[in-house]
Amino acid sequence: MFLSRTQLPKLITISLLLISVEFSLAQHYTFPLGVSSNKRYLVDAKGKPFLYVSDSGWELLFGLDLNDTRKYFLKRKQQGFSVVHIMLTGFPDKDYPKSTHLPFHNFDLTQPNEKFFSYADKVVALADSCNVILAIAPLWYSCCNDGWSSNPKKYMKKAGIKGSTEFGEYIGNRYKNYNNILWIMGGDNDPGENRGEVKAFAEAIKKAAPHQPITYHAASTHSSTDVWDNEQWLDVSMTYTYFRGFHKAWNYVQPDIYEVNYSEYKKYPIRPFLIGESTYENEHTDVTDTKLQVRKQAYYAMLSGACGHSYGSPFWNIGSAAVQADWQKIIDLPGANSLKYLNALFETFNWETLIPDMESKLIVSGNNRYATNDYAVAAITTDRQRGIIYLPSFRKIGINFSPLAGEKINTSWYNPRTGELSFAGTYNKKLNQEFTPPTSVIGDDWVLILDDASKKYSSPFNH
């Protein structure tokens, strides 16, 4: 039977929240990154779990000078981002208004331009000083026939395996002394006819800089391990999808993030994986509320087995004059700012111990239909003392407490838009319970936190 809630506690702001947010934003990691012993997440050089929260700053090298780049890194760090995704060599045929040096002479991968790479060196060093990982795509493949591999001019194919190996050796040796680098092979596309070149390129980088992790950015709806077998150079898998109902990608059937992540989680051999790309804030017109969507996909990622998530906005196109003129407003969008509350929650929740509740054992009613962009997801810590549920929209949900440890369960509502917390009551584990979020406003998402009452987790910030 279900017990009804008789009273909704007044929403309160927990004073410790502000302390936790500051703690989260001030997180300092020691690089390089490695893979945890259970292969489920990344760790820093001291073994500390690394929460991968990235911004898509793809054209950073072509849009900002060093002074503004520093401002950008510090702003993103203050917002809780730990990683920035960039293209090392951009789009080969794009006319960048602020770029004075092309990455190659004659577009030949075996003729790198020292002046260009000298500037890239400074950006990598600057990111390191800000304690930011740069996830670098050295040769962006591209979805749309304008990259180094998909382009009809066949830049990578012309270089061949020999030239691709040579360039891999060049950048691997050039950047091997940096610890704040993760490499992204590919870029918005599957390897296709360039499989041999990509493999040789990745292997050359790995040989020169074995301490720098490598992933692959495949086409939307595909993960790294969908397009590569058990490659020794592939350390991290990257999933990539939009959501059910999204019709702008070349594949109109876009699964939701939790769908592709559940599939990735079950794969063997186990690799840490992260959502590398999805909907960008203020960019897709078929999304009515992009600030909600970017928050939704972040929670979907973290509760479906991922070790991190990626955010995007029009800032990715900082190489264009229009974005350069307004970039400081763009990086202050509400969706980006709200992600710091996700970080504050998960970094105090031992997120690395969460197991996705793929069989919906916690939520017995109200999770809505699977394979939609309004599905409620949940996860439970390995010790079963804590559970967390994300509701992307208002609905009544029925909760089964039996998967959790403890005879009584403390419950709290967490507001992912503001970081506010409200206690929702203590309940007998043996009795199922119905919950209704504090507000029913369209665009309001909510997080329900479940704790073993004997551990006195009165809030997610008190353990």
5 pLDDT higher than 70: no
Please check whether residues 269 and 234 belong to one and the same domain.
yes
395-417 pLDDT, tens per residue?
A: 999 999 999 999 999 999 999 99
Answer whether residue 25 is part of any domain: no
pLDDT for the residue numbered 20: 44
Predicted local distance difference test score (pLDDT) of residue 2: 29
Residue 321's domain is classified under what CATH number?
Answer: 3.20.20.80
| Residue 266: per-residue pLDDT | 98
pLDDT band, very low/low/confident/very high, at 19 (cuts 50, 70, 90): very low
Task: Report percent pLDDT > 70 for the chain.
Answer: 92
Q: What is the pLDDT of residue 251?
A: 73
Q: What angle do CA 71, 74, 80 make, to 5 degrees?
A: 145
Q: Is the pLDDT of residue 185 over 90?
A: yes
Quick check: 17 pLDDT over 50? no
* DSSP code per residue over 164-183: HHHHHHHHHHHSTT-SSEEE
Average pLDDT over residues 139-162: 95
- Whether 329 and 366 map to the same domain: the answer is no
Residue where a domain terminates, one of 328, 347, 366: 347
pLDDT digits (tens, 9 = 90+) for 234-283: 999 999 999 988 877 667 789 999 999 999 999 999 999 999 999 999 98
Exposure string over 249-265, b if 16+ CB within 10 A, otherwise e: beeeebbbbbbbbbbbb
Residue 20 lies in a domain: no
Give residue 99's pLDDT band: very low, low, confident or very high (50, 70, 90).
Answer: confident
Q: According to the model, what pLDDT value does residue 247 have? A: 73
Q: Which of 289, 317, 347 is the last residue of a domain?
A: 347
Total structural domains within the chain: 2
Q: The domain containing residue 373 runs over which residues?
A: 2-14+354-455
Same domain, 315 and 186: yes
- pLDDT of 457 reads 60
3-state secondary structure of 436: coil
Q: What is the mean pLDDT of residues 439-451?
A: 96
Residue 272 maps to a domain: yes
* Same domain, yes or no: 450 and 329: no
205 has a pLDDT exceeding 70? yes
Q: What CATH number is associated with residue 358?
A: 2.60.40
Buried b (16+ CB within 10 A) or exposed e, 408-434: ebbbbbbbbbebbbbbbbebebeebbe
Judgement on whether residues 317 and 416 belong to the same structural domain of the protein: no
**Cis bond upstream, residue 314 (ω within 30):** no
23: in domain: no
Q: How far is CA 31 from CA 44, 127, 213, in A?
A: 6, 12, 11
| CA distances from residue 107 to 58, 139, 169, 216 in whole angstroms, order as listed | 20, 12, 18, 23
Alpha-helix runs per DSSP H in 266-357:
290-302, 321-324, 327-330, 334-347
Write down the pTM of the prediction. Answer: 0.93
Average pLDDT over residues 31-42: 98
Do 297 and 325 belong together in one domain?
yes
Tokens representing 367 are 């999770």
Q: Encoding tokens for residue 296?
A: 């939704």
In a domain, 21, yes or no: no
Average pLDDT over the chain reads 91
CB burial of residue 95 (10 Å; 0-12, 13-18, 19+):
exposed
| Overall size of the chain counted in residues | 463
Residues 184, 140: Cα–Cα separation, whole Å: 9
Question: pLDDT for 346-398, tens place per residue?
Answer: 988 899 999 999 999 999 999 999 999 999 999 999 999 999 999 999 999 99
